[in-house]
Amino acid sequence: MSMQGKICMITGANSGIGKATARVLAKMNATVVMICRDKERGEKAQKEIIEQTGNKNIDLLLCELSSHNDIRKLVSEFNNKYQNLHVLINNAGIMLKKRKISIDGYEMNFAVHHLAPFLLTNLLLDVLKKSAPSRIINVSSAAHKRARIDFYDLQSENKKYSLFRVYGISKLALMLFTYELSRRLEGTGVTVNALHPGVVNTNLGRDQSKFSQGFAKVFFKSPEKGAETSIYLASSPEVEGITGKYFVKKEPRESSEESYNEAYAKKLWEISAEMTKLIV
């Protein structure tokens, strides 16, 4: 399958699922725009992908996705270099053992997994619409199914910090955003879907214990296996026009009951727009 002429942006593209996704799309001859936080790691991954695929159309743009100012600079830089964007994959993720606050004052899981895709995607909507048919892919997690949104405590300040609870809340927020965005983009030629990549051994676990990291290496999926659904949603003609779905193992599945709550999705959108100072 060829992606010749398609421009694909992938966040968190220097390692794990993001890097594996970038490599395969590069093999399909797409122009890949890698969004990375660290210059040295980003350049190393960029060089590897070019050498492994023979595709020289691999670009690297730097961005700290927990910073709204950085995201705005990234979009400005991208728009100065490119006229089109056919695929946006919001892939970047973190898992932190201790509560951490972003430069803008928000809990870091919520900042990276929800506010970053919310702001980045909204700022890129004009170019995505102009490039239609185009696709937005949000890498979520089955962890959203155990989560509940508390609009009085979106920053997880009122309860003892629990990594998996807070992680799940941020991924539920991403699901609500996905479905609300699909409703707002109806008729534009821009589709938006979410996915669960499976339980994958990635750099997300670098903050965990040595035992947990070792367990992951043995029992979790490889990044290459974890990237398969992202690649499918980015490239397959089978999903052309399909929007507002949650995919697992390349198949549409039901997400949690709460993720379909339209009133919650609208309320979260309004709060997120205020948090990111997005004018809509």
Residue 105 near residue 217, CB atoms below 8 Å: no
Run of H or E including 212: helix 210-219
Which amino acid, 221? K
> How many residues does the structure list for the chain?
280
Instruction: Return the exposure string of 231-250: e unless at least 16 CB atoms fall within 10 Å of the residue's CB, then b.
Output: bbbbbeeebeeebbbbbbee
Angle at which helices 163-184 and 262-275 pack, to 10 degrees? 100
Query: Strand 190-196's sheet: what is its strand order?
Result: 58-62, 31-36, 7-11, 87-90, 134-139, 190-196, 246-248, 251-253
E strand or H helix that includes residue 80 = helix 68-81
Burial class, 5, CB count within 10 angstroms (exposed 0-12 / middle 13-18 / buried 19+): exposed
Provide the β-strand partners of residue 36. Answer: 62
Residues with catalytic roles: 167
CA distance 37 to 140: 20
Q: Where are the alpha helices (DSSP H) in 82-152?
A: 108-110, 116-130
Q: At 188, phi and psi to the nearest 5? A: -95, -15
Collapsing DSSP states into helix, strand and coil, what is residue 238? helix
